[in-house]
A and B are shown apart, each in its own frame.
Chain A
């Protein structure tokens, strides 16, 4: 069957559904996760083409508008490690670095083993939809320009110092800044305490050898990190953008 016909066959069900939607709304059928009732029914339609089986089911579930799964404060998604709270403040370079409210902040970092959430390999491999974007999150800055994420202390991988990626957008989603947060090093610091989790720190790349952070002679990319293994760590960092 040609794609055009296929798509058309998808549409037939959509056009014929509204009556059924109304009928269902009067009953107590919901999609189970949202009862706001603002959605309209999805298409339940055959793609059989010439030999079509008519859809013969109660309509539903009813979709409702949802933000991207990045939008959450706790980005742990079941990953184990030492707890870390990341407090990132966004300032506006065009306003004496005063707090920028309403900015969108994406962060992402690797897990204790040094792996990012992404599709494993290319081609045929599929992913379970429940926990696919671990250790990636998005928040919007409050009146103080602050966003807070709950996560785990990042692990490390060959060639890079411990880091967190940050992408700041304006409220409309236009990119303002792509940067990375570095961690303080040396005796008693979080990097030394966590000690690379099970890997240790043999072969670790320190900030002054890191290809991203090595040109940062003044430490402007290094966050303030306090805390202990038992209590968890708190990271604070300020990003200044031109908004």
Chain B
């Protein structure tokens, strides 16, 4: 029987309105790192916003990557568990190794304009089926076992199926 293997993406948006400690650390530290790294692409100090830098200095695209070093330590503190997203039992169940950090908007003079996203990419899941509005999934394993433990969860805002592959 063929099986559908999916990878989920959760795009966690963080701005000045986020209040949890983890979110605030990520927000403040990525802003501090942005201010440092942006100077490389803004040596004449002509621009203040990330958007202006991107428009005028296309290499500033690398700031997404360069600023991400400010937050990888915090990713490690999550112990491989994607935050916020719960299964129908109210438990976090998605694991990750891969991420992508995005600067959405920023301004070197204004912490309040600093808005970022962390895309968490789940480890592969097998999508067994859909019950009502819930997806039934289990951790992908190479071997075909007789019985596997499953999670039911609802696709919600800022969560999407990132990749899909059908295997036999």
A and B bind: yes
Chain A positions near chain B (C-beta within 8 angstroms): 1, 3, 6-7, 10-11, 13-15, 17, 31-34, 39-49, 51, 53-57, 61-70, 104, 118-119, 122, 124-130, 132-133, 136, 167, 169, 173-175, 178
How many B residues have CB within 8 A of the partner chain? 56
Q: Can you name 7 extra interface pairs (CB under 8 A) apart from A17-B20, A169-B39, A175-B39?
A: A44-B86, A46-B84, A63-B74, A69-B69, A124-B162, A126-B119, A167-B39
Quick check: A118 and B90 within 8 Å, CB to CB? no
Bound CA span A69–B76, Å: 11
Question: Which one of A14, A57, A136 lies within 8 Å of B91 (CB-CB)?
Answer: A57
Chain B positions near chain A (C-beta within 8 angstroms): 13, 15, 17-23, 25, 29, 32-33, 35-36, 39-40, 43, 61-62, 64-65, 68-70, 72-79, 83-92, 97-100, 119, 121, 133, 154, 156-159, 162
Find chain A residues with CB under 8 A from B23 CB.
Answer: 10, 14, 42-43
Find chain B residues with CB under 8 A from A3 CB.
Answer: 13, 157
* Candidate in B15, B19, B162 with the most chain A CB atoms within 10 angstroms: B19
Interchain Cβ contacts under 8 Å between A and B, 6 examples: A34-B77, A43-B83, A44-B83, A46-B86, A61-B77, A66-B73
User: A40-B21, A43-B84 are known contacts. Are A51 and B154 too (CB-CB below 8 A)?
Assistant: yes
Find chain A residues with CB under 8 A from B99 CB.
Answer: 126-127, 129
Bound CA span A136–B39, Å: 17
Q: Which residue of A lies closest to B96 (CB)?
A: A129
Bound CA span A7–B62, Å: 27
Question: Which one of A10, A64, A68 lies within 8 Å of B84 (CB-CB)?
Answer: A10
Find chain A residues with CB under 8 A from B74 CB.
Answer: 63, 66
Determine chain A's interface SS by DSSP, over half rule: loop
Quick check: A11 and B17 within 8 Å, CB to CB? yes
Quick check: A129 and B21 within 8 Å, CB to CB? no
Question: Which one of A31, A40, A118, A173 lies within 8 Å of B36 (CB-CB)?
Answer: A173
Find chain B residues with CB under 8 A from A67 CB.
Answer: 73
Find chain A residues with CB under 8 A from B35 CB.
Answer: 173
Question: Which one of B29, B91, B97, B162 lies within 8 Å of A128 (CB-CB)?
Answer: B97
Find chain A residues with CB under 8 A from B91 CB.
Answer: 56-57
Quick check: B43 and A63 within 8 Å, CB to CB? no
Find chain A residues with CB under 8 A from B88 CB.
Answer: 53
Quick check: A70 and B77 within 8 Å, CB to CB? no
